[in-house]
């Protein structure tokens, strides 16, 4: 990971401020798109969202959360039946194993409460920094980092906020330039922007609101 010059960091900080200010006006109610009613359901939903759209996850969890109402329901769940319940989200073998194993760990190691620290969350199967950041920010209001999903990864490069490709390195870059008070919302703002104005499919970046605002040439 290259060390950025002070001038480059300063310019990126100014750019990040402009981006956050603009996106807060466009998306004043930006929040996590995954439906949930408690930290455990959010953890389940985020694990299911790997390589799957939030829309599809919400369709699956609408039935799933009615069938499995408590943490104990997951602890006692039959894994083969659970795989069928989450089949539509893809990668159901790994997801089922991670969710049901996490349920047992949360009950036995954490007294039935989803942990609220980065270190403890990363100890759960299927939980990397992106998932942990979403849990900490959305369930507990804690800003320990910035969740870097496919939208944030792509847009951080497109908008000139990071030159890195690895999510963890992109997160470090963003944490240097985005004010900490904006860390929680930064992911949700970029996700909304990516979906509405700047999708991954080939399109004219010149027509994207932030491109015009930043007056930045994007090839």
Q: For residue 117, which phi and psi values (nearest 5 degrees)?
A: -125, 150
Question: Does residue 216 or residue 34 have the better pLDDT?
Answer: 34
Residue 201 is predicted with a pLDDT of 85
Average pLDDT of the segment spanning 15-21: 95
Q: For residue 29, which phi and psi values (nearest 5 degrees)?
A: -115, 30
Average pLDDT of the segment spanning 90-112: 98
Average pLDDT of the segment spanning 194-199: 90
Percent of the chain exceeding pLDDT 70 equals 97
From CA 54, how far away is CA 67, in angstroms rounded? 20
Percent of the chain exceeding pLDDT 90 equals 86
Express each pLDDT in 69-88 by its tens digit.
999 999 999 999 999 999 99
Catalytic residue, chosen from 149, 173, 182, 185, is 149
Express each pLDDT in 143-168 by its tens digit.
999 999 999 999 999 999 999 999 99
Judged by DSSP in three states, 164 sits in: coil
Residue at token pair 């300063």:
10
Q: What is the pTM of this model?
A: 0.91
* Confidence grade of residue 205 (pLDDT, cut at 50, 70, 90): confident
- Give the chain's mean pLDDT: 93
Closest residue by Cα to residue 145 from 164, 166, 163, 128: 128
Two tokens, residue 197: 């104005």
- Is the pLDDT reported for residue 219 higher than 50? no
Catalytic residue, chosen from 130, 153, 173, 182, is 130
- Is the pLDDT reported for residue 213 higher than 50? yes
How many helices (H) and strands (E) in the chain? 13, 0
Residue 130 catalytic?
Answer: yes
* Confidence grade of residue 209 (pLDDT, cut at 50, 70, 90): confident
- Is the pLDDT reported for residue 179 higher than 80? yes
* Confidence grade of residue 215 (pLDDT, cut at 50, 70, 90): low
Residue 1 is predicted with a pLDDT of 62
Express each pLDDT in 23-56 by its tens digit.
999 999 999 999 999 999 999 999 999 999 999 9
- Is the pLDDT reported for residue 211 higher than 90? no
Q: In the chain, what are the domains?
A: 6-30+146-214 (1.10.1670.10), 39-140 (1.10.340.30)
């Amino acid at each position: 990971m290259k060390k950025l010059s002070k001038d480059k960091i300063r310019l990126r900080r100014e750019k990040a401020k402009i981006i956050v200010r603009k996106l807060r006006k466009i998306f004043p109610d930006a929040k996590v798109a995954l439906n949930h009613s408690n930290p455990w359901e959010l953890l389940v939903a985020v694990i299911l969202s790997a390589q799957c759209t939030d829309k599809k996850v919400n369709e699956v969890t609408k039935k799933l959360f009615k069938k499995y109402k408590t943490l104990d329901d997951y602890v006692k769940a039959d894994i083969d039946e659970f795989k069928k319940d989450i089949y539509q989200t893809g990668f159901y073998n790994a997801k089922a194993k991670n969710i049901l194993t996490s349920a047992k760990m949360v009950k036995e190691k954490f007294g039935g409460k989803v942990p609220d620290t980065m270190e403890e969350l990363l100890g759960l199967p299927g939980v990397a920094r992106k998932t942990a950041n979403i849990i900490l920010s959305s369930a507990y209001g804690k800003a320990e980092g910035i969740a870097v999903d496919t939208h944030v990864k792509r847009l951080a490069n497109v908008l000139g906020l990071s030159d890195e490709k690895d999510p963890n390195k992109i997160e470090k870059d963003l944490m240097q330039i985005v004010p900490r008070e904006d860390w929680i919302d930064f992911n949700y703002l970029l996700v909304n922007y990516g979906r509405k104005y700047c999708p991954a499919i080939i399109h004219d970046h010149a027509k994207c609101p932030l491109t015009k605002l930043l007056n930045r040439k994007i090839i």
